[in-house]
Amino acid sequence: MACLLTTSFALDCKDSIGGVKNIWVIANTQKGTITKSVSGTVTAWAPTANSIFKYELIKNTSMLEVDATADPVAGTVHYPGKLNIKMRKMDVYKRNELKLLAHNLLIFIVLDRNGVYYVVGEDSGCDMVMGKGSTGTAMGDFNGYDLDFTFDEPDMPLVLAAGVAASLGLV
């Protein structure tokens, strides 16, 4: 199979911003049926009812990072990455839910600050690899949770079509 290049890229406008606005999480076992196009877009999704949960995030604190890892000798390419989120306040409700996150294989829908929805962990899932709760030391210090989730997928994160995001109640 030939891997022919298909397009050129002009210099983009300076209208993109960094950061993650919100995430939605679903246990891998409840993902249901995901339909995706060859272009990398989720075109339909029918998860188990009431299985997607929204986490609103503190601005300028969370990020999604994806690496392209290629081995020219083996002829393989895969995409490991990390999702880091911060949540204010250590409380019993978050404590209990974060414990469940640590015990599950997860899929995340990540809304970046440009309005793009990414599906992370659709194939192999995401795992919590670090979770830290901190009271802080001084009155002005951060009190809450800092969580890292990792994934390693055979392809880059999928983009969730706007109509699918609306059908899932994310918009």
CA distance 8 to 11: 10
**Considering the domain boundaries, does residue 170 fall inside one?**
no
**Considering the domain boundaries, does residue 62 fall inside one?**
yes
Number of domains in the chain: 1
Contacts of 131-140 with CB under 8 Å at 24 or more apart are 131/98, 131/101, 131/102, 133/90, 133/95, 134/90, 135/90
DSSP helix/strand/coil, 119 = strand
**Considering the domain boundaries, does residue 121 fall inside one?**
yes
**Considering the domain boundaries, does residue 149 fall inside one?**
yes
CA distance 123 to 140: 41
6 confidence band (pLDDT: 50, 70, 90): confident
**Considering the domain boundaries, does residue 135 fall inside one?**
yes
Please tell me the predicted confidence (pLDDT) of residue 7: 87
What would the two tokens of residue 40 be?
């990398």
Cβ atoms 90, 145 nearer than 8 A = yes
Q: Is the pLDDT of residue 1 over 80?
A: no
Please tell me the predicted confidence (pLDDT) of residue 4: 87
**Considering the domain boundaries, does residue 105 fall inside one?**
yes
The domain containing residue 81 runs over which residues? Answer: 20-30+51-155
**Considering the domain boundaries, does residue 88 fall inside one?**
yes
**Considering the domain boundaries, does residue 165 fall inside one?**
no
